[in-house]
């Protein structure tokens, strides 16, 4: 577990998660990436405890109930912080994303015993390559290597929340010459039920075939 910490009115004294983020693992030599993965998996219990203590200070418990998962989601949307003048998460928020991904993954595994953490090595062009992922979905053929990259998903959600908070209009992605080319729209509202939605999507992937 990392020794450095951030002290802020929002997070309190929050020891940083210094495991390599998912996008760096893809570029590392296999043995280095695997060592990072094994260290992260070894530390996940400690990281979830750190998250739980942080939420205790915020006034609510961390449990496996939908109510507490929703409370975590609402708190996450309210407190995450960007880098200066950017929509990207700062160091404390990146740590929080990593820890939330472990918490959600452990909830999934507790409910669906066939699921497990895996170091994903199938296909260098796969977005999950050399990342910690959830695998073992019974409704999917093993050869499909179906997986869920929670650290990437939670990080992406944080980026969307921060972009929405700044309120910048977004230009529509349409082909050149399209009638809507050059038109900008307001960012869509943030789905505050994101974490519950992730859990429900896993429930569906674990339905018997």
Domain count along the chain: 1
Q: What is the 3-state secondary structure (H, E, C) of the chain?
A: CCCCEEEECCCEEEECCCCCCHHHHCCCCHHHHHHHHHHHHHHHHHHHHHHHHHHHHHCCCCCCCHHHHHHHHHHHHHHCCECCCCCCECHHHHHHHHHHHHHHHHHHHHHCCCCEEEECCCCCCCCCCCCEEEECCCCCCHHHCCEECHHHHHHHHHHHHHHHHHCCCEECCCCCCCCCCCCEECCCCCCCCHHHHHHHHHHHHCCCC
Instruction: Tell me what pLDDT residue 80 has.
Output: 93
86-123 tens-digit pLDDT: 878 998 899 999 999 999 999 999 999 999 999 999 99
DSSP state of 95: H
Take residue 144 and report the two structure tokens written for it. Answer: 């499909």
Q: Determine contact, residues 37/28, Cβ cutoff 8 Å.
A: no
Q: Which domain, by its residues, includes 142?
A: 5-169+181-205
Per-residue pLDDT band for 85 (boundaries 50, 70, 90) equals confident
Residue 115 lies in a domain: yes
Q: Determine contact, residues 68/106, Cβ cutoff 8 Å.
A: no
> CA of 181: how far to CAs of 92, 106, 164, 172, 177, in Å?
38, 44, 22, 7, 6
Residue 175 lies in a domain: no
Q: Determine contact, residues 81/90, Cβ cutoff 8 Å.
A: yes
Residue 2 has pLDDT above 60, yes or no: no
Residue 207 has pLDDT above 80, yes or no: yes
Residue 165 has pLDDT above 90, yes or no: no
Residue 174 lies in a domain: no
Residue 66 lies in a domain: yes
Could you give the CA distance from residue 141 to residue 147 in angstroms, rounded to a whole number? 11
Residue 9 lies in a domain: yes
Instruction: Tell me what pLDDT residue 202 has.
Output: 97
pTM over 0.85: yes
Could you give the CA distance from residue 73 to residue 121 in angstroms, rounded to a whole number? 30
Residue 107 lies in a domain: yes
Residue 176 lies in a domain: no
53-84 tens-digit pLDDT: 999 988 888 999 999 999 999 999 999 999 98
Could you give the CA distance from residue 146 to residue 207 in angstroms, rounded to a whole number? 14
123-137 tens-digit pLDDT: 999 999 999 999 999
Please, which residues bridge with residue 147 across strands?
Answer: 135
């Amino acid at each position: 577990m990392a020794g450095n910490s951030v002290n802020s009115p929002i997070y309190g004294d929050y020891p940083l998660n210094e495991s390599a983020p998912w996008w760096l693992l893809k570029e590392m030599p296999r043995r280095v990436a695997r060592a990072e993965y094994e260290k992260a998996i070894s530390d996940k219990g400690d990281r979830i405890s750190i998250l739980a203590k942080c939420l205790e200070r915020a006034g609510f418990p961390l449990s496996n109930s939908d109510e507490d998962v929703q409370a975590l989601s609402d708190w996450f949307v309210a407190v995450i912080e960007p880098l200066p003048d950017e929509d990207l998460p700062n160091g404390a928020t990146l740590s929080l994303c990593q820890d939330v991904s472990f918490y959600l993954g452990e909830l999934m595994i507790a409910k669906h015993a066939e699921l497990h953490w895996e170091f994903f090595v199938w296909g260098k062009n796969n977005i999950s390559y050399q990342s910690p992922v959830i695998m073992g979905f019974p409704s999917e053929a093993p050869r499909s290597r179906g997986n869920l990259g929670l650290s990437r998903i939670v990080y992406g959600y944080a980026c969307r929340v921060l972009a929405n908070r700044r309120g910048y209009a977004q230009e529509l992605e349409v082909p050149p010459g399209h009638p809507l080319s050059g038109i900008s729209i307001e960012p869509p509202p943030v789905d505050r039920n994101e974490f519950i939605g992730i859990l429900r999507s896993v429930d569906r992937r674990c339905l018997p075939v």
